[in-house]
Structure 1
Amino acid sequence: MPELKPIFSTIDARDKLLEAALSAFAELGFHGATVRDITQRAGVSQGLLTHHFGDKERLWNLVGERVSEDFLEYLGPALEVEQVDAETIPTILAAYMGYWRDHPSALRLQIWRVLGAPEAERRTRVERLNRRIVPIFLRAQEAGFIRSDVPAGQAMVTAGSVIQYRLHSQLEMQDAVSVTGDALPDDAEFLRYAFSLIAARPDER
């Protein structure tokens, strides 16, 4: 099932190429994926990819942009807050987990992004997302819902990293938890734990 929202049309080869590129990049990374593999997955000629997107790096950048667009659209309702309250950050974290759980290829692409893929797309992505999301964490911090002894951006990254780890390293987490005979917490319980790492202490509220 396609993960990227079509931006051309439901029958346009360009959307097929973007989806095929996401699949290849998610599986093999930027350096492992080839133009031939991508076009074979899309069922089109290599010349068509070159005509529409130029080279592999441009295609990588566009796939990354599409993932970021879809990510922000998915989180949109959680990010559109006029006034922060006690549920603002937990709601954002739940939406964050929901996006990556619903988009496993995008999650794998995210891992490859930090393992040495072209830096330009990565830098553009983080700057754009941070400008959109960190200010909400700062507002929550100023309102007394996020701990004050760390930068708001660090609080955001801490919670997000723990959530991503749960999703891409379930085997490791399951094994670690089972050593003491405990059961792996469900998503709701885990989200409460993730938020507890950055929540304001009782004496700060």
Structure 2
Amino acid sequence: MKEARSAIALQAGREAILAAARIEFAKSGFHGTKMRDIAQRAGVSQGLLHHHFQGKEGLWSAVGEQASAEFLTYVSNVVGQETLDADSVPSAIRTYLRYWREHPDAFRINLWRLLDGPTDERKSRSLSLNERAVPLIKRAQHSGLLRADMPAGLVLCVAGSLVQFWLHSRIEMQDAIEIGGEKMPDDETFIRHIMQLIQSSPASEPSGKDG
């Protein structure tokens, strides 16, 4: 019984550390976060942090893996859909945008990852996510839903980077649009603009069949 309680306490400590690290990393990034700040927020000793995660890189990776798992679960229905139609890609973009709006801590950590995160962890996460998302884009290209004159990965990056910019650079985007004499669009209008950039033209022929 004592061993069971000890195991439960260790697991609770690990979960508290992950939750605290997520907050601290979102606030200050990898290099700006101190292990003592995480330990203080989690209410545990720094020794317990090292017991569970060995060091800050291990903890950063664990937080990233947790966020990636949550993200993949969130988008699983749109990324894994078997039959594609005209709304498949807009729905995927809509879900991607909505995930970041609902998970601002994960969004901030992702931005920090680009600025100062360890390269190995960034590479691992990139491969994990792109291996799931790029096949959807390729299938949409083969179905004639998306332009096929660009690599599937580039189409994905165009759409994804525009969504990211839409979220983290609202001031700059609003100024650029309003100085041009237009009104800032809502999310759905913005998604339609993205689709105009990446979808096949009405005259184009499908390059294959949906796999």
Which SS does the other structure have where 1:44 is aligned? coil
Matched, 1:45 2:52: no
Task: Quote the residue 2:3 is aligned against.
Answer: none
Cα distance, 1:162 vs structure 2: 0.2
Cα distance, 1:172 vs structure 2: 1.4
Q: Which amino acid aligns with 2:154?
A: Q
Q: Which amino acid aligns with 1:87?
A: D
Q: In the TM superposition, what whole-angstrom CA distance separates every residue of 1:68-103 from its partner, at most 9, and x where no partner exists?
A: 100000001112211211111111111100111111
Q: Which amino acid aligns with 1:91?
A: S
In 2, Cα distance between the equivalents of 1:148 and 1:68?
28
Cα distance, 1:127 vs structure 2: 0.8
Q: Which runs of 5+ in 1 are unaligned?
A: 1-7
| Mapping 1:33-182, distance limit 5 Å | 33-182=33-182
In 2, Cα distance between the equivalents of 1:194 and 1:12?
43
Contact kept in structure 1, 2:29 and 2:116, CA below 8 Å: no
Q: In the TM superposition, what whole-angstrom CA distance separates every residue of 1:23-78 from its partner, at most 9, and x where no partner exists?
A: 11112111111101111222222122111111000000111111110000000111
In 2, Cα distance between the equivalents of 1:159 and 1:41?
37
Which SS does the other structure have where 1:203 is aligned? coil
Cα distance, 1:180 vs structure 2: 3.0
Cα distance, 1:178 vs structure 2: 2.1
Q: Which runs of 5+ in 2 are unaligned?
A: 1-7, 206-211
Task: Quote the residue 1:5 is aligned against.
Answer: none
Q: Which amino acid aligns with 1:106?
A: A
Q: In the TM superposition, what whole-angstrom CA distance separates every residue of 1:136-179 from its partner, at most 9, and x where no partner exists?
A: 10000011011011001110111000001111111111222221
Task: Quote the residue 1:183 is aligned against.
Answer: 183
Q: Which amino acid aligns with 1:180?
A: G
Cα distance, 1:12 vs structure 2: 1.5
Contact kept in structure 1, 2:134 and 2:156, CA below 8 Å: yes
Higher fraction of helix: 2
Greater than 3 Å deviation, 4+ residue runs: none
In 2, Cα distance between the equivalents of 1:26 and 1:182?
34
Task: Quote the residue 1:4 is aligned against.
Answer: none
Q: In the TM superposition, what whole-angstrom CA distance separates every residue of 1:81-130 from its partner, at most 9, and x where no partner exists?
A: 11211111111111100111111111111111111311111111111111
TM-score, length-scaled by structure 2: 0.88
Cα distance, 1:183 vs structure 2: 2.1
* Count, aligned residues: 197
In 2, Cα distance between the equivalents of 1:16 and 1:194?
40
Aligned CA-pair RMSD: 1.6
Moved more, 46-55 or 151-160: 46-55
TM-score, length-scaled by structure 1: 0.91
In 2, Cα distance between the equivalents of 1:17 and 1:194?
39
